[in-house]
């Protein structure tokens, strides 16, 4: 069994309210140009820190730890949202040694202000 070792990645995310009135973060991006691609203004964006989750909350955030780039990618509000990013499923990519699908903790660092 390979030991799973991960790090911390800073990303930018949008805050939104779902149909039940709960506040979530979505659209996790590494670069500000991606914010413009989904029409997110800086008023709704936050700089966040992604780290390996301390527990596997099925209703919590999940992400892909990329072993080639050594960073978190594809962070979503559920495990299944990350799973659909892989044509043959994440297990195939894990077996190839490309990364791991894991629960993540999302910590808001600050309101994003474009410099």
The pLDDT value recorded for residue 89 is 92
Query: Looking at the domain assignment, is residue 4 inside a domain?
Result: no
Query: Looking at the domain assignment, is residue 44 inside a domain?
Result: yes
Could you tell me the residue range of the domain that residue 13 belongs to? 9-111
The pLDDT value recorded for residue 112 is 75
| H helix intervals, the chain | 32-37, 79-83, 90-95
Query: Looking at the domain assignment, is residue 1 inside a domain?
Result: no
The pLDDT value recorded for residue 88 is 92
Is 49's pLDDT higher than 60?
Answer: yes
The answer to whether 12 and 43 have CB atoms below 8 angstroms apart is no
Q: How many domains does the chain have?
A: 1
Query: Looking at the domain assignment, is residue 2 inside a domain?
Result: no
CA–CA separation, 76 and 41 (whole Å): 20
Is 57's pLDDT higher than 70?
Answer: no
């Amino acid at each position: 069994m390979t030991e799973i070792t991960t790090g911390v990645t800073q990303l930018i995310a949008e805050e939104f309210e779902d149909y039940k009135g709960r506040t979530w973060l979505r659209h996790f991006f590494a670069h500000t140009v991606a914010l413009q691609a989904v029409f997110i203004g800086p008023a709704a964006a936050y700089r966040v820190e992604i780290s390996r989750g301390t527990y596997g909350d099925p209703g919590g955030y999940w992400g892909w730890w990329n072993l080639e780039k050594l960073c978190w990618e594809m962070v979503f509000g559920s495990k299944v949202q990350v799973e659909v990013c892989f044509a043959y499923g994440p297990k195939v990519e894990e077996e190839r040694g490309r990364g791991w699908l894991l629960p993540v903790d999302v910590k808001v660092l600050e309101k994003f202000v474009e410099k």
